[in-house]
Amino acid sequence: MTRPVKIAPSILAADFARLGEEVKAVDKAGADYIHLDIMDGHFVPNISFGPSVIKSLRPWTDKVFDVHLMIAPVDTYIEAFAEAGADIITFHPEAGPHAHRTVQAIKANGCKAGLSLNPGTPAEAVDPLLQDLDLILVMTVNPGFGGQRFIESQLAKISVLRERIDSMGKEIDLEVDGGINFETASLAIAAGADVLVAGTATFDGGPEHYSGNIARMRGQTAG
């Protein structure tokens, strides 16, 4: 069975001076989700943007806003991201002591909940929360920056999680984030991923290349 593959462009690699147009352009180019990387300069060594930017982008597309929180603490900010227009809110278990409470808070705010695993975090970290999750995000770089190299050792974790999800029979997105390009996209898909986050590879070459870049990562066109 071939699983449909969703592409989630990370706007971290977009032109920040024209973010609305960039989001609209990747929407038209076939993006499934818009991946929004939130970095606080504390949980990760970089600062990106916050809920007010997401709120400003919300009118530019109807696509799913896939918000990846690389912040600590998380719970204090869930309501603000939900009100700004997040559809999925994903967090890292290392960000706080009460991961299950965070999942409950995300759902209470009307969003889907995702858990993100750093390269050093084992697949088993999802087990106690699996039935409450809508998405599992496997980091294939250490979080904090776009444009890093794909860590191939994480493919085994993707395969393990694919088996866990299939044996549950529940709809859970298995998303991969970091260093995705045309080559690593096919490795991640073969390992069982069904959502690919791609910043650098989506925005490479400017707007006239977005739809070709997205189609090629999805495996729709020959290289």
- Cα separations (Å) of 19 from 34, 97, 137? 12, 34, 24
Binding ligand DX5 by CB under 6 A: which of 51, 93, 114, 178?
Answer: 178
| 32, 6 contact by CB (below 8 A) | yes
β-sheet bridge partners, residue 195: 6, 175
Of these partners, Zn ion, ligand DX5, none, which one is at the site of residue 198 (CB under 5 to 8 Å by kind)?
ligand DX5
What stretches of the chain adopt beta strand conformation (E)? 6-9, 33-39, 64-70, 88-91, 112-117, 135-139, 173-177, 195-198
User: Is the CB of 20 or the CB of 144 nearer to ligand DX5?
Assistant: 144
Give the number of residues in contact with ligand DX5, rule: CB under 6 A.
Answer: 21
Distances, alpha carbon 12 to alpha carbons 35, 67, 78, 145, in Å: 9, 12, 20, 8
Between residues 148 and 159, which has the closer beta carbon with respect to ligand DX5?
A: 148
Radius of gyration of the chain (CA): 16
92 binds Zn ion (CB under 5 A): no
Name the catalytic one among 15, 166, 177, 204: 177
The residue range among 5-13, 49-57, 90-98, 125-133 that interacts with ligand DX5, by the rule CB under 6 A, is 5-13
State yes or no: residue 64 binds ligand DX5 (CB under 6 A): no
Which C-beta is closer to Zn ion: that of 37 or that of 134? 37
Q: Which stretch binds ligand DX5 (CB under 6 A): 124-132, 137-145, 159-167, 215-223?
A: 137-145
* Known catalytic membership, residue 37: yes
Find the catalytic residue in 15, 32, 37, 66: 37
Nearest to 64 by CA among 152, 217, 153, 173: 173
Q: Which token pair is 53?
A: 């930017």
**Residue 154, C-beta contacts closer than 8 angstroms, at least 6 positions apart:** 119, 138, 139, 140, 176
- Asked if 177 is an active-site residue, the reply is yes
**Interface with ligand DX5 by CB under 6 A: which residues?**
10, 12-13, 35, 37, 68, 141, 143-144, 146-148, 177-180, 197-201
**Interface with Zn ion by CB under 5 A: which residues?**
37, 68, 177
Report, as residue numbers or ranges, the catalytic residues.
37, 177
